[in-house]
Amino acid sequence: MSGAKKQYRIAVIPGDGIGKEVVPEGLRVIEAAAKKHGVALHFDHFDFASYDYYEKHGQMMPDDWKEKIGKHDAIYFGAVGWPAKIPDHISLWGSLIKFRREFDQYANLRPVRLMPGVPSPLVGRKPGDIDFWVVRENTEGEYSSVGGRMFPDTDREFVTQQTVMTRTGVDRILKFAFELAASRPKKHLTSATKSNGISITMPYWDERVEAMARNYPKVKWDKYHIDILTANFVLHPDWFDVVVGSNLFGDILSDLGPACTGTIGIAPSGNINPEGDYPSVFEPVHGSAPDIAGQGIANPIGMIWSGAMMLEHLGEKDAAAAIVTAIERTLGERTLRTRDLGGNADTTACGKAVAEMVE
């Protein structure tokens, strides 16, 4: 085959706080990997979804934000939030949550992987012992906003909130998770449930897991109630390969998982629209970290690793793998580490070290 190679268009949004410091390091490493593996990338930079933009314009994003970034192949996002100046419900709901909803990013994806040279809070665990993915349903379930409050401020006060599961919503996240499991060597999927206590929606979830599993005869699957599942994350992290959960259960597991693998500064995530009708967002798990912003000491590895997830999502597996290997080697050599990992390297030095490792 001949013809022009595809050039990916990436929307870059640094946002607030350390987002502005780690994004340039992520781009440095992505560019090194792209150059080495012949991937053509074009970056468009945007200053919205930040407190600075809000201060000037009275809103987090321009009215035509969807036209500005909706046609890009992916969005590379730093962090949003500056609680001293603007409440989180305005900054988050005015940016990231809008992306999730309007770009139908129904799968939230986080790796849980113990990296060499990073101490795990789980005693005795070595790299290789912990290596799985958490897949969270991102659009419905327990976070439905369906419900209400009656007889407020009386003895009869009555409050409800419903869990909403649709067949479309449940099946599409399960399909995404089974596909991921099928692509991995262990081919193992674990479903988070609580059908012994939540008697209508969770048995439905279990039923759909069973139905979906029939399409993936090579994938071994099991299920655990969320209470014992969280215990097993800590006691037996080596049991897992792909773990899928509803919006609430997935939320809990996707924080617990990375916590088992050391610092929040290295964990990446994707908010994914698997069909590719809209761009997916790749961002570190950490926030804008106002307490250390402006000092140049943030760990850029969560941002860099998010870049590897983005390249993988775009289908550029070699470039993605080169970044993950470079992160492993940089962390493993222990010579250059940011303060959260007990070293004294700054953000830029760490980014440059990973970029050189890629080259």
Which residue, 260 or 264, is less far from ligand ATP as judged by CB? 264
CB-nearest residue to ligand ATP: 287
Which residue, 81 or 274, is less far from Mg ion as judged by CB? 81
Q: Are 302 and 310 in contact (CB under 8 A)?
A: no
What minimum distance in Å lies between the beta carbon of 84 and ligand ATP? 11
Please give the DSSP secondary-structure letter assigned to residue 9. E
What minimum distance in Å lies between the beta carbon of 266 and Mg ion? 18
Residues that bind Mg ion (CB under 5 A): 81, 287
What minimum distance in Å lies between the beta carbon of 299 and ligand ATP? 4
Which residue, 12 or 79, is less far from Mg ion as judged by CB? 79
What minimum distance in Å lies between the beta carbon of 343 and Mg ion? 24
- Reference 140, options 70, 210, 204; nearest CA is 204
Neighbour-count burial for 205-244, b at 16+ CB within 10 Å, e otherwise: beebbeebbeebeebebebbbbeebbebbeeebeebbbbb
From the list ligand ATP, Mg ion, none, pick the one residue 292 interacts with, judged by a Cβ distance below 5 to 8 Å according to partner type: ligand ATP
Q: What is the CA radius of gyration of the chain?
A: 21
Map residue 166 onto helix, strand or coil: coil
230 CB-side CA count, 13 A = 13
From the list ligand ATP, Mg ion, none, pick the one residue 286 interacts with, judged by a Cβ distance below 5 to 8 Å according to partner type: ligand ATP
What minimum distance in Å lies between the beta carbon of 138 and ligand ATP? 15
Which residue, 18 or 310, is less far from ligand ATP as judged by CB? 18
Amino acid at 340: D
Which residue, 14 or 287, is less far from Mg ion as judged by CB? 287
Which residue, 38 or 294, is less far from ligand ATP as judged by CB? 294
In the numeric block, the tokens 């150059």 are attached to 35
From the list Mg ion, ligand ATP, none, pick the one residue 265 interacts with, judged by a Cβ distance below 5 to 8 Å according to partner type: ligand ATP
From the list ligand ATP, Mg ion, none, pick the one residue 30 interacts with, judged by a Cβ distance below 5 to 8 Å according to partner type: none
What minimum distance in Å lies between the beta carbon of 91 and ligand ATP? 9
Strands 280-284 and 268-272, sheet pairing: antiparallel
Which residue, 19 or 287, is less far from Mg ion as judged by CB? 287
Q: Are 25 and 348 in contact (CB under 8 A)?
A: yes
DSSP string for residues in 299-327: --HHHHHHHHHHHHHTT-HHHHHHHHHHH
Residues that bind ligand ATP (CB under 6 A): 18, 81, 264-265, 286-289, 291-292, 298-299, 302, 340
What minimum distance in Å lies between the beta carbon of 323 and ligand ATP? 17
Q: Are 265 and 259 in contact (CB under 8 A)?
A: no
From the list ligand ATP, Mg ion, none, pick the one residue 298 interacts with, judged by a Cβ distance below 5 to 8 Å according to partner type: ligand ATP
How many whole angstroms separate alpha carbon 333 and alpha carbon 350? 12
